[in-house]
């Protein structure tokens, strides 16, 4: 008999990622949708052959629902994920884990108390390119890592959200809180932690609201650009930039500079992983293209989440790892030590 799962929040991330990936998973029998806009839940239920419920308590209290995806806005994660865990559900929470460390710690406390699994959707860990790069780094095929640079930028969430509007919750301080740092930057901070098996401990950053305006034409209250210098526990140094104002093609690249060569990920238009060695050799890997707003492919997140439940093993992206990443993002924005 297949698994029954729930989704809280029926915006774009549920529509383009969670919904289709649950639908495609052979172990999932039914998806139950909740959104405070009932029509959104009904729309996704129709799209993916599931059903909609009018209250979130119906998800919490249905004993047949074993897992819930929290696809709500950032400010609600610590409410929905915490309640889902305490009602005995495994939880896949969208990133960032919460709007701040204090709220994130509430979720982790609920997970510990419940004994259920908590996975966070830092999906860049799961791409074939990043996993191959991690293997190369671990084997020291290019020697030790010295420095790095990473970026994630696109035209902005108003072109991605359900309503395609500058009224998007991503632009609201009370709901988004972290701006582009929590939307895009958190992916790349987590990726650096993963690739290098290291933790960023020092941050020097600039963040600003340079161009985005809300539905009233006023400058938004959260940052739309971040540029920062980073230093890890093991002494690696690098830089990162995150932007909602890349008004051309999306940039989701990472470059790792090692003793014996350079590794470029999603930097070349045809070769998602490209290595240039110190002696001039160029090695090209044709593995996959990265998921973008325009190129929606399977992230592998739902597959990994369901696998961790069915085989009772730790999810590949844990709440503790997500909390570590969130601490760095907070430091980027408030200037305090990580």
The residue range of the domain holding 24 is 3-122
For residues 240 and 180, what is the distance between their CA atoms, to the nearest angstrom? Answer: 12
Same domain, 145 and 118: no
Same domain, 86 and 178: no
**Parallel, antiparallel, or unpaired: how do β-strands 118-120 and 145-153 relate?**
unpaired
Same domain, 81 and 213: no
Same domain, 212 and 231: yes
Residue 298 lies in a domain: no
Structure tokens at 247: 């008004």
- Give the predicted TM-score (pTM) of the model: 0.94
CATH number at residue 147: 3.30.360.10
Same domain, 285 and 136: yes
Cβ-contact 180, 222 below 8 angstroms = yes
Structure tokens at 165: 């509007």
CATH number at residue 42: 3.40.50.720
Residue 305 lies in a domain: no
Residue 302 lies in a domain: no
Give the pLDDT of residue 2: 87
Buried/exposed 210-243: b ≥16 CB within 10 Å, e otherwise: eebebeeeeebebbbbbbbebebeeebebebbbb
Q: How many domains does the chain have?
A: 2
Same domain, 118 and 157: no
Same domain, 109 and 27: yes
Peptide bond preceding 96: is omega within 30 degrees of 0, i.e. cis?
A: yes
Residue 220 lies in a domain: yes
For residues 314 and 58, what is the distance between their CA atoms, to the nearest angstrom? Answer: 27
The residues with which 227 forms a beta bridge, in sequence order, are 206, 241
Please give the DSSP secondary-structure letter assigned to residue 99. S
**Parallel, antiparallel, or unpaired: how do β-strands 237-243 and 261-265 relate?**
unpaired
For residues 49 and 310, what is the distance between their CA atoms, to the nearest angstrom? Answer: 23
Same domain, 138 and 107: no
The residues with which 265 forms a beta bridge, in sequence order, are 254, 273
Please give the DSSP secondary-structure letter assigned to residue 8. E
Domain end residue (candidates: 52, 87, 122): 122
Structure tokens at 188: 């790349």
For residues 77 and 81, what is the distance between their CA atoms, to the nearest angstrom? Answer: 5
Same domain, 325 and 212: yes
**Parallel, antiparallel, or unpaired: how do β-strands 225-232 and 237-243 relate?**
antiparallel
Same domain, 135 and 118: no
Structure tokens at 337: 């030590």
**What is the tally of helices (H) and strands (E) in the chain?**
12, 14
Output the 3-class SS for 165-205: CCCCHHHCHHHHCCHHHHHHHHHHHHHHHHHHCCCEEEEEE
The residues with which 5 forms a beta bridge, in sequence order, are 31, 67
Helix or strand run (H / E) with residue 276 = strand 273-277
Give the pLDDT of residue 293: 46
Residue 152 lies in a domain: yes
Domain end residue (candidates: 65, 93, 122): 122
Tokens 């790892």 map to which residue? 321
Per-residue pLDDT tens listing for the chain (338 residues): 689 999 999 999 999 999 999 999 999 999 999 999 999 999 999 999 999 999 999 999 999 999 999 999 999 999 999 999 999 999 999 999 999 999 999 999 999 999 999 999 999 999 999 999 999 999 999 999 999 999 999 999 998 766 778 999 999 999 999 999 999 999 999 999 999 999 999 999 999 999 999 999 999 999 999 999 999 999 999 999 999 999 999 999 999 999 999 999 999 988 999 999 999 999 999 876 655 545 545 789 999 999 999 999 999 999 999 999 999 999 999 988 78
């Amino acid at each position: 008999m297949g698994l029954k799962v729930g989704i809280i929040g029926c915006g774009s991330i549920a529509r383009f990622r969670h919904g289709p990936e649950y639908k495609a998973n052979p172990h999932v029998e039914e998806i139950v949708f909740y959104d405070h806009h009932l029509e959104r839940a009904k729309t996704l239920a129709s799209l993916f052959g599931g059903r909609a419920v009018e209250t979130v308590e119906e998800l919490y209290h249905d004993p047949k629902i074993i897992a819930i995806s929290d696809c709500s806005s950032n400010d609600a994660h610590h409410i929905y994920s915490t309640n889902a865990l305490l009602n005995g559900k495994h939880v896949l929470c969208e990133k960032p884990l919460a709007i701040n460390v204090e709220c994130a710690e509430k979720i982790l406390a609920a997970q510990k108390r419940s004994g259920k699994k908590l996975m966070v959707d830092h999906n860049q860990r799961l791409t074939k390119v990043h996993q191959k790069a991690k293997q190369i780094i671990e084997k020291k095929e290019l020697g030790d890592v010295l420095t790095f640079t990473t970026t994630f930028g696109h035209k902005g969430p108003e072109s991605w959200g359900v309503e395609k509007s500058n009224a998007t919750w991503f632009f609201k301080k009370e709901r988004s809180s972290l701006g582009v740092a929590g939307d895009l930057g958190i992916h790349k901070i987590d990726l650096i932690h993963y690739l290098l098996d290291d933790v960023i401990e020092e941050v020097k950053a600039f963040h600003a609201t340079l161009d985005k305006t809300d539905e009233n034409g006023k400058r938004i209250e959260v940052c739309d650009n971040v540029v920062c210098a980073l230093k890890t526990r093991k002494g690696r140094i690098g830089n990162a930039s995150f932007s909602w104002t890349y008004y051309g093609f999306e940039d989701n690249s990472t470059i790792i500079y090692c003793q014996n060569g350079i590794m470029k990920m999603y930097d070349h238009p045809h070769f998602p992983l490209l290595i240039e060695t110190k002696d001039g050799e160029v090695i090209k890997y044709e593995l996959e293209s990265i998921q973008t707003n325009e190129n929606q492919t399977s992230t592998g997140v739902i597959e990994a989440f369901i696998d961790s439940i069915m085989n009772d093993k730790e999810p590949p992206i844990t709440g503790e790892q997500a909390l570590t990443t969130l601490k760095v993002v907070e430091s980027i924005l408030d200037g305090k030590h990580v």
